[in-house]
Chain A
């Protein structure tokens, strides 16, 4: 091998690094290191002129190894690899030294920072000598997608992908798609009927030949990697065969009819054990609730449903089953769960029947809801005074610290509906009004004009006195405490991660942010993808958002998936291991240790072989191999030891 010719490039990152580290000094220091032919510092190495600097040097000075001392490799390693590649070298002859996150951002001490930057550059310049050319393997992918969750986010994403010509599996936990949007009455700020704009989309899903809809089902397992995922889906039996026409005869016959809280109406109406979630459900088929059906629970019932069903669809013998789906990419659109207002006992939710939450109010005002759209108190009277409390379960250290982003706007909508449907005096108690979206401020303005009274203050508690609900708050704009008696209180509850977000995050190996919602790969520049390649996040699963934002994000995710499926192949990780058949003794220790099942014993030659697509590059096998027959690319023993030795040189000198 010829003597390596290294170029070192120290980036100031404006004042991010340059404000603390003496970059000029580091560059001058690097120039004296062995094999370093050229060393420069520059304000922004990632900029076009910065990149040109490297390319020109490679050409003019015949460089064959590059060290860039700048930020974390997370963002710009791909950038500089491309630069090196464009200059005609294998991109893996480039090594980064992180002197921003690891140095300048953690101290203000220029002397120490500069010393550490020198150390890191010295280590990188030694390591890079041992780096090898790598040509990443490419493999084909499964041209199908999985969408988890059948709310508006999942529906939009599925339709987009399917219409682009790709097979799409839509897995929904409940017996119907539609999600929370199907339960809403109107949507802000336009006051469109929610169901009217959603149900046609639901029907499209049912009709779309490229969509395979799997309801009553949950994702319970995931194997493989981006491009080639194998997903295990557990289907809960419906106890009604696919032949069901949705006629509803079993629903009317069920002897439990009217005895079970209907989740669709948030407890405001009852259903039976055999039921159809709502008239526009997709698929429009009956379902039998395992938990409440007497036949399924106790094995004893008159089975009136069986008698009633002319098509003989009721089948109590159905069992749960697991199916495997092969897909290239996944979109998680599992939505949210409304905050449980019982957790804020001071408001008496669950104690006073006329303290209701926002979802119950949606059902009350909905023309197809349990009251036919009539807003009445528990005594059946039209309320004369209604209070709407913002920020219940949001912006509160006792519950959720974050803003749920939709409550201000739906509270305005509720105020409007309450005025319109009852003529009641309406009082909105708020802390700050957040009307940031298109047309939102105008909506706020309109609702103010409709005579809704806005009181800036958080309600401290609700009690009952003489048949009225009494609210205590400070009108903070007056600086005076007040008590207000009303007939109905609507709690504008916030949005929380869905109940099974925890479970799903384990199954899919995707992280969650502190608020419990799924974490995006980058909050600004990659908000659609999760940190796991090939898994995307749409709608409220990623964080509270309104319908326009949800639809935008869903279609964005669908676009990413379509792009990926269209490319049709994927580069494998380069950090995977390779085995040396001459050294391998076939002891099979590595096989036992590998968490991914990527190592297979070849019986003919009595040695191990790596299945590259399965290897995640964790390095466990490479460290354990007693024969030193396994090498992890980019982390070979000589590379790592060279780096450590160089790092410790100055320490040893002290």
Chain B
């Protein structure tokens, strides 16, 4: 029989008072009505020893041993759909991440997370590659050395913060390749950071190291941005966006002092300027909202606006879209913690996309692209999984071509 700590023994929910207070609105957990909407929403629930609702009940009652034994939180993709749907508005996803931290402080990090942490400390990226490898994606662009070095400037209006995954995973090289091509074509004064770039730090936070673990990454990257004299930092990774906008200001205690935008925000107007001509082949696409972009950063209409303005492109929506979008399975370091589960979640989303009859499954995140592409492959779905950038770049007609 499990023992419920009694208030007079200093137990009950008071055990977690500090934890709840450390998360904005975390104390709302006390108002949980145990409706189970989170459990039924969670695609990882089947892999958790107890349903998420039950875990929250443990938390309300201060049943610490039960929480630490169940370890629900390592199965969480931090997609935050439970949080979005919670009738009490409890920040469930943030509490899940906080529980990872709580666990790590007491029992140590799981091996995959410990490994990740030491990799990051050594290399400042998630793969352990040498810093110079961050530019390998420029190799097969047919650029000569001079053109390559033009991507790296001392000073520029715009910085394109490429992010670890896009820089170091060949599967998604096309993302930075496409964005830089578009920016060059539009004549934007921009630079990439190459080997100077550090990871945004999210994997540490997601891995249970707490927000404070990101402090040195915040200091370093912000200093680097400043040194370039840029006004805007562009990202193609929604998680970097989330970290820059939501976590860095908390760590530095001040405004970033620089505008951070996801490329979908930046390109909406740029693509309308008339300097591009597009292929007009009739194409049916569906669009997957990344959790960090849609639900967590409320950017849902810009990518759709871009698609609407691409001639010949018809967007068909999936059953769950925008801030109600389903996860790709690639968030919250889940791929490293439980690759099988991550893959299952991806396949669910691919099935949803398949139901629309679209030819392309588009997204605006390199991680979503990776997991969804894997899901499509396993499901043998006849779907092309593209980042929106690749899709745009492919449809841009070469300069001087037929008008």
Contact = CB atoms under 8 A, between A and B. Distances in A.
Interface stretch (A270-278, A279-287, A390-398, A579-587): A390-398
Contacts of A310: none
B89 A481 contact: no
B180 interface: no
A234 interface: no
| Central interface residue in A345, A458, A461, by most chain B CB within 10 Å | A458
Contact of B53 (A345, A459, A474): A474
A479 B51 contact: yes
B46 A481 contact: yes
B36 interface: yes
B35 A476 contact: yes
B319 A463 contact: yes
B71 interface: no
B219 interface: no
B44 to A, nearest CB: 11
Nearest to B45: A481
Nearest to B40: A460
Contacts of B319: 348, 351, 463
A345 B87 contact: no
A472 interface: yes
B324 A479 contact: no
A104 B214 CA distance: 46
Contacts of A506: none
Given A397-B88, A397-B89, A476-B53, A461 B35 contact: no
Contacts of A474: 36-37, 39-40, 45, 51, 53
A457 interface: yes
A476 B39 CA distance: 9
Interface string A478-499: 0111100000000000000000
A37 B36 CA distance: 67
B232 interface: no
A346 interface: yes
Contacts of B88: 397
B85 A481 contact: no
A461 B84 CA distance: 12
Contact of B51 (A459, A461, A481): A481
B6 interface: no
Nearest to A464: B319
A432 interface: yes
Contacts of A418: none
Interface in A548-567: none
Contact of B324 (A346, A432, A472): A346
A351 B355 CA distance: 15
B34 interface: yes
A473 B87 contact: no
A220 interface: no
A594 interface: no
B339 to A, nearest CB: 22
Given A457-B35, A461-B40, A473-B40, A396 B53 contact: no
A433 interface: no
Contacts of B50: 479
Contacts of A457: 35-37, 40
B89 A458 contact: no
A454 to B, nearest CB: 14
Contacts of A431: 33, 35, 87
A4 to B, nearest CB: 54
A473 B36 contact: yes
B67 to A, nearest CB: 15
A457 B36 CA distance: 6
A345 B324 contact: yes
Contact of A398 (B41, B54, B89): B89
Contacts of A476: 34-36, 39, 53
Contacts of B33: 395, 431-432
B220 interface: no
Interface in B201-217: none
A594 B54 CA distance: 63
Contacts of A345: 324
B14 to A, nearest CB: 22
A460 B85 contact: yes
| Central interface residue in A346, A395, A432, A480, by most chain B CB within 10 Å | A346
Contacts of B86: 397
B266 interface: no
A474 B38 CA distance: 9
A481 B87 contact: no
B37 A460 contact: yes
A398 B81 CA distance: 13
Interface string A332-369: 00000000000001101001000000000000000000
A391 B84 CA distance: 17
Interface in B303-324: 319-320, 324
B320 to A, nearest CB: 7
A431 B88 CA distance: 12
Nearest to A460: B40
Interface in A410-435: 431-432
Interface string B83-95: 0111111000000
A21 to B, nearest CB: 32
| Central interface residue in B35, B46, B87, by most chain A CB within 10 Å | B35
A255 B36 CA distance: 51
| Central interface residue in A463, A479, A481, by most chain B CB within 10 Å | A481
Contact of B36 (A351, A396, A398, A458): A458
| Central interface residue in A348, A391, A474, by most chain B CB within 10 Å | A474
A395 B87 contact: yes
A432 B84 CA distance: 21
A459 B40 contact: yes
Contacts of A460: 36-41, 85
B34 A396 contact: no
A398 B85 CA distance: 8
A461 B53 contact: no
Contacts of A398: 84-85, 87, 89
Contacts of A391: 87
Nearest to A432: B33
Contacts of B320: 346, 461
Nearest to A394: B87
| Central interface residue in B34, B40, B50, B320, by most chain A CB within 10 Å | B40
Contacts of A482: 40
A346 B85 contact: yes
Nearest to B88: A397
Interface in B23-77: 33-41, 45-46, 50-51, 53-54
A479 B87 contact: no
A324 to B, nearest CB: 47
Contacts of A432: 33
Given A395-B87, A463-B319, A458 B46 contact: no
Closest 8 A-B residue pairs measured CB to CB? Answer: A474-B36, A460-B40, A397-B89, A458-B35, A474-B39, A396-B87, A457-B36, A458-B37
23 contacts: A346-B85, A348-B319, A395-B33, A395-B87, A397-B88, A398-B89, A457-B40, A458-B35, A459-B37, A460-B36, A460-B38, A460-B39, A460-B41, A460-B85, A474-B36, A474-B53, A476-B34, A476-B35, A476-B36, A479-B51, A479-B54, A481-B46, A481-B51
Interface of A: 345-346, 348, 351, 391, 395-398, 431-432, 456-461, 463, 472-476, 479-482
Interface of B: 33-41, 45-46, 50-51, 53-54, 84-89, 319-320, 324
Given A398-B85, A432-B33, A473-B37, 13 more contacts: A346-B320, A391-B87, A397-B86, A398-B87, A431-B87, A457-B35, A461-B320, A463-B319, A473-B40, A479-B50, A479-B51, A481-B39, A481-B45
